[in-house]
Chains A and B, each alone.
Chain A
Amino acid sequence: MQTAVVQAGGVANPIPARAGVGLRAPHYREVIETRPPVGWLEVHSENYFGDGGAPLYYLEQARRLYPLSLHGVGLSLGSADELNRGHLAKLKALIGRFEPALVSDHLSWSSIDGRYLNDLLPLPYTEEALAHIVRRINEAQEVLGRELLIENPSSYLQYAHSTIPEWEFLAETAARAGCGILLDVNNVYVSGRNHGFDPQRYLSAIPVDAVREIHLAGHTVNRYPEGEILIDTHSTRVCAEVWGLYRGVVQRFGHVPTLIEWDTDLPALAVLVEEARTADAIREEAHALVA
């Protein structure tokens, strides 16, 4: 098995290329007691922003058994508000305590005038927004003293005044901010279907050496008289088309840590482990072909 991966910036426990799974509260005890065969765990950073109690207790234990990644959904990097210093301080403390190998958030905004939407809204892809998010990522990386990975969001609208395709906007953000990319293959697929672009076109524009992590997840389909909108619900298995894209992704991007995300209608842990095994099989097969 390949284990030599990823920048870890002196982190004791780097993330292997083997697929990991998202750790959610209903699975805490089973993961700790049965130690399922997955390579690493990822949690939502904000779920551990409490001061004490069960979540932090279980994360301490899980952290001893698996390499860890902290995935944020609340930094609101694209917001025109001031960066939330309190949020950043909590994240920094969490990083100090748990020493994650990877820390990530999104290419999106979720707050304005101090009101938070608890959702990831797309930016207009303009020079103004690009300069803004690059400045904010720089600021966050400076406070945290480490590299952030930025994930491409799934989106359900496009702005009329956007001038830059999302894939160029993401690549340019990474180049200018010196951050890594968390490439969510399902999000590329979902947005591609919603906005009518070719996922391959997107993937081939992403710089190979910037991608440090891959997300895979399931989505659902809403049907309307005018057609379908795909919703990134993280509530189902990875679909066949996304597995198909993943095959090409591992050929292009190499041995990058892959995560199975599942947040709503959480299934038995065994289902997540099975999805992770599928990802491992695809990656190993792809690399056997290359070798």
Chain B
Amino acid sequence: MPSLPELERRLAHAVFGGDAAGVATQIARGRFPAERHLQVYRNNVFASLTEALRALYPVVERLVGDEFFRSSAHAYIRRHPPPSGNLHDFGAAFSEFLAEFPAAQPLVYLPDVARLEWFWHEAFHAAEAEPRALARLSAVPPARHGALRFRLHPSARLLASDYPILRIWQVNQPEYRGDSVVDLAEGGVRLLVMRRGLTVAIEPLGAGEHALLSAMAAGKNFAESAEAALAVEPELDLPRSLRRRVRDATLVDFVF
């Protein structure tokens, strides 16, 4: 008779790995072979986790179709089972997984679409933040702005892709009506994903503003962030960008 840890280990292995040899003799004989009992749990686990991935990655699912999505989801579940009893933590590595998944290789944009959907999920559940930067900034002389380290809203996520993933995302929304052809030659896009109110907004950014906000998110001060922004977009109107992002609460606060 196996100990409790050993029994749980063998059963989990039978469910995830499909190999029932270690646990079949521990299952009481009834009307059904042991495999039938295990299959019920296997179905519950894979169906519920596939459903969880489907809720996280609806655009990926539309792009690859039901059958492809299911098989990639099952492979993902085996490789990256939930790390906690809180499903918010599950599915984080799907983008990296798709980048390596052999059958997904022809869809070069798929990992970036998945990354966008994961950021959407993170933004949806991120913490609230009281915007304080606007009120506080008026008390700081512009000469000292360079030393400020701005804090982005906890839901803000920045993303750059070589593919037109915003357009791909938009034409694959259930309510979208119109031309659903996306030309990959449209080229790349830089995005800010952030919750505004209760809903998540996805906003395209210019190269300069993307560099500015990314540098700020990495903890750089305004002078350093401005330098990074101007390096990629020399004509960027920095004071205007700063005002705008403080006003729309993308930047919620700062420290000196």
Contact = CB atoms under 8 A, between A and B. Distances in A.
Interface in A81-128: 84, 86-87, 90, 109-119, 121, 123-124, 126, 128
Contact of A224 (B36, B83, B86, B198): B36
B198 A53 contact: yes
Contact of B4 (A57, A80, A117): A80
Given A53-B195, A195-B30, A118 B49 contact: yes
A123 B4 CA distance: 8
Given A112-B5, A115-B82, A52 B26 contact: no
B27 A116 contact: no
Interface in B28-54: 28-34, 36-38, 40-41, 44-45, 48-49, 52
A46 interface: yes
B36 to A, nearest CB: 6
Contacts of A57: 198
B84 A116 contact: yes
B195 A124 contact: no
A218 B130 CA distance: 44
Contacts, number: 146
A72 B86 CA distance: 10
Interface string A51-64: 11111010000000
Contacts of B37: 156-157
B125 A50 contact: yes
Nearest to A232: B44
Contacts of A76: 85
Given A80-B4, A112-B8, A116-B85, A53 B125 contact: yes
B108 interface: no
Contacts of A159: 7, 26-28
Nearest to A87: B85
B134 interface: no
A74 interface: yes
Interface in A226-276: 226-227, 229, 231
Contacts of B85: 46, 72-76, 84, 87, 110-111, 116
Interface stretch (B11-19, B110-118, B175-183, B230-238): B11-19
Select the residue from B8, B9, B81, B195 with max chain A CB neighbours within 10 A.
B8
Contacts of B83: 114-116
B127 A52 contact: yes
Q: How large is the interface on B (under 10, 10 to 19, 20 to 34, 35 or more residues)?
A: 35 or more
Interface string B76-89: 00000111111110
B49 A74 contact: no
Given A52-B154, A80-B5, A231-B40, A118 B87 contact: yes
Contact of B25 (A86, A87, A158, A160): A160
B29 A49 contact: no
A90 B246 CA distance: 32
A113 B9 contact: yes
Interface in A200-244: 222, 224, 226-227, 229, 231
Interface of B: 1, 3-5, 7-9, 11-12, 15-16, 25-34, 36-38, 40-41, 44-45, 48-49, 52, 81-88, 90, 124-128, 154-155, 195, 198-199
Nearest to A105: B85
A258 to B, nearest CB: 25
B70 to A, nearest CB: 16
B126 A52 contact: yes
A152 B118 CA distance: 35
Nearest to A50: B125
A113 B12 contact: yes
A226 B125 contact: no
* 5 A-B pairs with least C-beta separation: A74-B85, A50-B125, A80-B5, A157-B37, A51-B127
B16 A115 contact: yes
B41 A226 contact: no
Contacts of A112: 5, 8-9, 12
Contacts of B12: 112-113, 115, 117
Contacts of B40: 156-157, 222, 229, 231
Select the residue from B11, B33, B34, B49 with max chain A CB neighbours within 10 A.
B11
Nearest to A195: B30
A222 B12 CA distance: 22
Contacts of A231: 40, 44
A79 interface: yes
A189 to B, nearest CB: 16
Contacts of A87: 84-86
Contacts of A118: 45, 48-49, 52, 82, 87, 90
Given A74-B86, A87-B84, A161 B127 contact: no
A226 B32 contact: yes
Given A57-B198, A132-B4, A231-B40, A224 B125 contact: no
B41 A86 contact: no
A72 B128 CA distance: 24
